[in-house]
Structure formats: structure tokens, C-alpha cells
Amino acid sequence: MSDSSFRTVTIVGATGSVGYPITEAFLNDGSYIVKILRRKPDENEKAKILVSKGAEIVYANYDQKDDLVKALKGTDVIVSTIFDRVNFTSLYDLQAPLLAAAKEASVKRFIPSEFASGYKTVDHVMYEDKIKFREELERSGLEYTYIHTGLFQEFLGSFGFNVKNKKAKFYGDGNTRIPTTSLPDVGKYTVETLKIPEARNAHIRVTGSNLTLNEYLQKFEKASGSKWEVTEDRDVRYRFKNKIEPIPSFMDDYIAYETENSNFLDNDNDKFSFIPEPVTKVIETLVSQA
């Protein structure tokens, strides 16, 4: 089942919210040499834990191609989970130097920083850079896999479910279906894409749960033992685009876009060897931590 030509996997952005569980999943799998590529040595707790579990850290200056090529020598697969929350540098600009170096270092497969809803066409800036990078990646001749997971279940709070105040804000109709996957399962799916032939040069869509907003709400209410207050804001995108008061934030516009567009018509779950965790488990954890 496994592609034995993949021995060494380098995760870029391993200290991030999705990079960390993906790196953990590779370490737990045990079939690979796991490296994490970082920009600079600093006191990063997550990096320390990953090293204690068996990952090797490699540092490189991402602006220096030779440095990156050296850092990537011997890598068979790059998993990019990079994201710049400080300057919001485009994902194209962040990943293009990695791809150029990967090609020179004879990396075989590049898994880019996707891990969301996987649209092929978009009218939202968050996705434009991902799609521009896909075009560059496909021209490069490297193998690729685009992994689409829907929303991370651990991020339901940012999607309008305010556990602390027991309030939900829907950015669309309550009957809208939203695919979600837990972060540990995103990690496991990512590892297995290296072992299934269908993932070579393909879009892979996986989903832990595919419930409506109302159904997620019911689970939050059950876990917290009380009814929640619900509001709906259905014209966020229109107000954002036309600067109509109250003008929504960029993130509100993004969440409204996701609410309208993130439903997968089908998924590839049956190509994988495991059943994803139901969302109930993550919701119970979110409620217990609030």
C-alpha cells in the first residue's frame, strides 16, 4: 500500500495550527524520517515537543535559494502548512521560493498549504493565491496533492459558535451544510495521501462531519446543557463589498464566503483506512475548555 520511494518528509510551518498535528501524525505513523523546516531558531514550545518526539529541525533563510536547496536535500515530500498571520504575505509569495528550491533539491512531491474548502474557482482573495500557486506547482513537474478538509472542527468558535457566551451567529441560513474535520484527522489524512495511489496529482476531499449550522448548534447546546441565543447576519458579503454600515470586518466577509460556498458535493473518505472522529468529541472539548 505504501509508496516506499517516500522516506523523508519535511513539514514547513510545523509550529502552526495545522502543521503541528500533521507533523505529529507523521511521527506517530513511524514510516518516515520527519524533518521540520523553520526560518530561525527561537524558543518555540511546539518545535521543542516535536523534536522530543523524533523530528529533526532544519533552519534556512527562505530568501536564499541555496540555503533552501541545502535544507531540502534528501527530502522526498514537502508538506507546506505555511501561513503569515502577521503581514498576510500571499501564500503564492511564501511558497514559490520553496517550490523553486524543492525542484532543484529533487523533491518528489509537494503538498501545498491548502487544508480548507478547495474551490477550483473563487471570488475571494483568500483563495486567489492558493489557486495561483497550484498553477505554478502543476507547471513544475513535481507531484502534488491538494488536501481539502473543510473547516477545522477546533476552529468552530471563529465560525460564529461562541461557547463562552452561549451565542451563535450564523453568516447564512441555518440549514447550510458545512464540512468540518478535526485537526488530528487532518494529520492522519495527510499521512495516508502518501500511501494511496489516487492522491498522486489530485484533489483529495475529506470530511469528518458534514452537518448544517443548526445541527452543529444542537450539538453545542447538548454539550453545554442549555439553549443558545442565535442571530443571523445574511448580507455580510454585500455590506462588505459595498461598504454599507455596519461594515463587516475582512474576517466576517471570509466566514460568510465560507458559509455560502464550502459544502463538498462528494468526498474521498472511502479511499482512507480509518473513520474520522465525529464532531461531538471536539465540541465537548471546546465546551469543557470554555
Q: Which of these segments, 17-25, 103-111, 187-195, 204-212, binds ligand NAP (CB under 6 A)?
A: 17-25
* Residue 120: CB minimum distance to ligand NAP, A: 16
Residue with the CB atom nearest ligand NAP in the bound state: 16
* Interface pick for ligand NAP out of 23, 75, 95, 113 (rule CB under 6 A): 113
Q: Which three cell numbers stand for residue 71?
A: 535544507
DSSP string, 231-256: EE---HHHHHHHTPSSPPPHHHHHHH
Residue 164 binds ligand NAP (CB under 6 A): no
**Dist. CA 14–CA 27, nearest whole Å:** 12
Q: Which of 81, 224 has the CB closer to ligand NAP?
A: 81
Q: Which of 94, 142 has the CB closer to ligand NAP?
A: 94
* Interface pick for ligand NAP out of 155, 230, 271, 278 (rule CB under 6 A): 155
Pairing mode, if any, of strands 177-181 and 209-212?
antiparallel
**Dist. CA 252–CA 240, nearest whole Å:** 9
* Residue 102: CB minimum distance to ligand NAP, A: 15
Among positions 40-99, residues that touch ligand NAP (CB under 6 A) are 62, 81-85, 89, 94
| Contact code string over 120-149 relative to ligand NAP, x by CB under 6 A | -----------------------------x
Q: Which of 107, 282 has the CB closer to ligand NAP?
A: 282
**Dist. CA 80–CA 102, nearest whole Å:** 11
Contact predicate 206/272, CB 8 Å: yes
Q: Which of 31, 269 has the CB closer to ligand NAP?
A: 269
CA-to-CA dists, residue 68 to 72, 103, 135, 241, 262, angstroms? 6, 11, 22, 40, 35
Residues 6 or more apart from 198 whose CB is under 8 A from it?
204, 268, 271
| Helix 213-224 and helix 279-289, axial crossing angle in degrees, nearest 10 | 50
* Interface pick for ligand NAP out of 3, 6, 17, 103 (rule CB under 6 A): 17
Chain residues binding ligand NAP by CB under 6 A are 13, 15-19, 38-39, 62, 81-85, 89, 94, 113-116, 149, 151-152, 155
